[in-house]
A = this chain, B = another copy of it.
Amino acid sequence: MSDAVDAIIGQWTKERPDLTEDLWPVQVLGRLQRLGRVLDKEFRTFAARRGLELGEVDVLTTLQRSGPPYALPAGALLKAAMVTSGAITNRIDRMEAKGLVERVREEGGGDRRTVRIRLTEHGHEVTCEYMAAHLANEARMLSELGREESDRLAASLRKLLESFGDTSIG
């Protein structure tokens, strides 16, 4: 049983034996980095087959899971997506052109700086269909790992995320 990261660590051990004792974090972080790439590619392809950008899916699902009225200020989307403001503006522009979301400015006495991004009827339907397919795909991806090991793995990953300060959405 050996993956790409084992091979990488083996190469380092041979090339720099003096670092052998310091290589253990690579077992985790190297794999996380690599898994990040693999998942990103997988999800991107999955989304593209349905005519969506990965960043767009991000916005759609964030709005959907926020519950009625399926609208959030741009700033909230920005934080949830962990991207910069320019990226969110561009995404909204594209998605508005596709009819997936619409910009809604506060009427009356509200804060007129904030722009609420609201899921359209069409966007809502697209998101529902997408989520069903996406969850099925995710279950398939983890089929070899099994439910029990997935739970244990999730616990360690949470611990790691927490230690990185990723403690909540807000």
Binding site for B on A (CB under 8 A): 1-8, 11-12, 14-16, 19, 22-29, 31-43, 64-67, 82, 131-132, 135-136, 138-139, 141-142, 144-145, 147, 149-154, 156-164, 166-169
Contact = CB atoms under 8 A, between A and B. Distances in A.
Contact of A11 (B15, B66, B82, B152): B66
Q: Is the interface of A mostly helix, strand, loop or mixed?
A: helix
A89 to B, nearest CB: 19
Copies of the protein in its oligomer = 2
Contact of A32 (B7, B12, B24, B32): B32
A144 to B, nearest CB: 4
A161 B149 CA distance: 14
